[in-house]
Amino acid sequence: MDGTRTPQTPPVLILLGPPGAGKGTQARMLEDRFGLVQLSTGDLLRAAVASGSEAGRAAKAVMEAGDLVSDDIVIAILRDRLAAPDCANGVILDGFPRTTTQAEALDVMLAESGQQIDAAILLEVDDAKMVTRIAGRFTCGACGEGYHDTFKAPKVADTCDCCGAQQMTRRADDNAETVASRLEAYHAQTAPLITYYADKGALRRVDAMGEIAEIQQAIAALTESAMQ
- Specify whether 155 is catalytic: no
Amino acid (1-letter code) at residue 228: Q
In degrees rounded to 5, what are phi and psi of residue 142?
A: -90, -50
Q: Cβ–Cβ contacts within 10 Å for residue 204, how many?
A: 22
- Catalytic, 182? Answer yes
End-to-end C-alpha distance for the chain, whole angstroms: 14
User: Which of 137, 170, 200, 205 is flagged as catalytic?
Assistant: 137
How big is the CA angle at 95 (ends 89 and 98), to the nearest 5 degrees? Answer: 120
| 60 part of the active site | no
Indicate the DSSP class of residue 9.
S
Whether the Cβ atoms of residue 73 and residue 166 lie closer than 8 Å to each other: no
Active site residue 98: yes
Beta carbons within 10 angstroms of residue 114's beta carbon: 11
Active-site pick, 170, 182, 200, 205: 182
For this structure, is 23 an active site residue? yes
Query: Pick the catalytic residue: 46, 60, 79, 98?
Result: 98
Sign of CA dihedral 196, 225, 205, 25: negative
5, 23, 81, 133: which is the annotated catalytic residue? 23
Marked catalytic residue, from 33, 129, 152, 171 = 171
Q: Which positions are catalytic? A: 23, 98, 137, 171, 182
